[in-house]
Amino acid sequence: MSKYMLDQILMQLKPAKVRLAKGEALFLQNDATVNFYCIITGKVKLIRNTIEGTQAVIHVALAGETFAEASIFSSEYHCSAIAVSESVIMSYRKSELLYYLEGAPDAMQGLLRVFSQQVRDLRLINEIKNIRSARDRILAFIESEMDSSREVFLNMSLKDLAYKIGLAHETFYRELKNLEKRSILKRHGNTLKLLNSIR
Amino acid sequence: MSKYMLDQILMQLKPAKVRLAKGEALFLQNDATVNFYCIITGKVKLIRNTIEGTQAVIHVALAGETFAEASIFSSEYHCSAIAVSESVIMSYRKSELLYYLEGAPDAMQGLLRVFSQQVRDLRLINEIKNIRSARDRILAFIESEMDSSREVFLNMSLKDLAYKIGLAHETFYRELKNLEKRSILKRHGNTLKLLNSIR
DNA sequence: CGAGTGATTGACTTAGATCAATGACCGTGG
DNA sequence: CCACGGTCATTGATCTAAGTCAATCACTCG
């Protein structure tokens, strides 16, 4: 995702393009780690089989996201990756990345920066999810993502955004509508704009 | 936190010990970044002043956690750090770390590993917070953290744990009790043990 | 001893999840 | 070109689990 300036590092590598049908697996838990991935389009869920026999969703990765980065440092995948919808994915060899990083300490530092940024963002989303009120949660999210013109461009569906901030999509739609009705925000297409509200 | 084997890197540095009274600030938003921190005891909240004038909690860091790592790569803190309770904090100079990493590519790779691990963990907590049922959320958390003897040692209060997984502490207490009553889990002191339940 | 905090339990309320149904909008294949 | 299957977006009705308020007890620390 360009947001993290990861491109410049990944650009140096020669990825393979993989196309997955809905429900198809990219890798399975305990497979030897060879690659890590970046989603071009689609959606992939990461699932761990627990000792109980139950399955736990570890993460749902959306377009633009990289995943299985931790696999770079382990020998086996600790979860399985299944396409939720038809997906196109770039596959990077972890060995190639490691080799490249050896010779490019700057890139390694860049990657460090990317990761620390990601940690920060995840902690923020985590915190946002602790806000009980749907309305406040939505506003907190927008405020955290908006640019100087108080707008957020959504690179995902409303449904996915609802999931991202931990709301039932119905609740999310309703609350958006509510906020529009009260002229607290405005929607055009894929952008949300926060109006100059006196909260 | 030893969990991430960060110690080995931090060990190479000469931190300063800082003691904060409750409510005291460690740094303020827009201060020049000089240090990053690791909490020995206590609790620190990270707060961002939004354009609205409102304050948003970005993160609450507990004992054992490092924070403001992203500051290593930026010139100003993007949030303020306030002690929630009396706290003892190790303060590491970011310049010292960067200098050390220059000369120790292995350490840099180690740090990369730590961060990628942290990203993985945060995504997991995020996912756990999407589980609506308090009971299932608690079980998911325990299953994700427990060792081979199905136990989790809690290095934080129940209240903090409740917060971490996004539950009101009352709800958390009640549900724990419930799970004990049904012999699904057992508590002794600071450990939770999942019994061989047929869920 | 008193202040402060965690742990616990009770009673109550409501906001948000859930179930359901519908329309819009694809892309696809016949 | 149209019918279809699929997904997103939207809205209504209903229900309940979890949040909130409140009070109490235990414990620690200075």
Residue B197 has pLDDT above 80, yes or no: no
The bases of strand C with some atom under 7 A from any protein CB are 5-11, 15-20
Q: Which tens digit of pLDDT belongs to each residue from A98-134?
A: 999 999 999 999 999 999 999 999 999 999 999 999 9
Residues with CB under 7 A from strand D: A 22, 85, 132, 157-160, 169-170, 173-174, 176-177; B 132-135, 166-168, 170-171, 175
Q: How far is it, in rounded angstroms, from Cα A149 to Cα A188?
A: 14
Q: Which tens digit of pLDDT belongs to each residue from B69-78?
A: 999 999 999 9
Distance from CA of A139 to the nearest CA of B (A): 11
**pLDDT for A149:** 92
**pLDDT for B80:** 96
pLDDT band for position A97 (50/70/90)?
Answer: very high
- Does the distance separating the beta carbons of B57 and A113 come in below 8 Å? no
Q: What is the pTM of this model?
A: 0.94
What is the DSSP code string of B118-153?
HHHHHHHHHHHTT---HHHHHHHHHHHH--TTSEEE
- The closest CB to that of B116, out of A52, A115, A143, belongs to A115
Say yes or no: Cβ of B170 under 7 A from any atom of strand C: yes
Mutate to test the interface with B, among A97, A127, A142 (most CBs of B within 10 A): A127
CA of A136 to C1' of D21 (A): 21
B42 neighbors B67 (Cβ within 8 angstroms):
no
Say yes or no: Cβ of B169 under 7 A from any atom of strand C: yes
Q: How far is it, in rounded angstroms, from Cα A155 to Cα A173?
A: 17
Q: Which tens digit of pLDDT belongs to each residue from B14-53?
A: 999 999 999 999 999 999 999 999 999 999 999 998 777 7
Per-residue pLDDT, averaged over B116-137, amounts to: 97
pLDDT band for position A4 (50/70/90)?
Answer: low
Does residue B115 belong to the interface with chain A, where contact is any CB pair within 8 Å?
Answer: yes
Using alpha carbons, list the distances in angstroms from residue A167 to A162, B60, B94, B165. Answer: 5, 22, 38, 15
Residue B2 has pLDDT above 80, yes or no: no
- Burial category of A132 from C-beta neighbours within 10 Å (exposed 0-12, middle 13-18, buried 19 and up): exposed
Does residue A195 belong to the interface with chain B, where contact is any CB pair within 8 Å?
Answer: no
Contacts of B58 in chain A (CB under 8 A): 120, 123-124, 127
**pLDDT for B57:** 93
Per-residue pLDDT, averaged over A25-53, amounts to: 93
Using alpha carbons, list the distances in angstroms from residue A145 to A150, A173, B123. Answer: 9, 19, 18
Per-residue pLDDT, averaged over A75-84, amounts to: 96
Per-residue pLDDT, averaged over A80-95, amounts to: 96
Does residue A133 belong to the interface with chain B, where contact is any CB pair within 8 Å?
Answer: no
Which ranges constitute the DSSP H helices of A39-192? 94-102, 105-128, 134-145, 158-164, 169-181
pLDDT band for position A3 (50/70/90)?
Answer: low
Q: How far is it, in rounded angstroms, from Cα B142 to Cα B186?
A: 12
- Does the distance separating the beta carbons of B127 and A59 come in below 8 Å? yes
Share of chain B above pLDDT 90, in %: 87
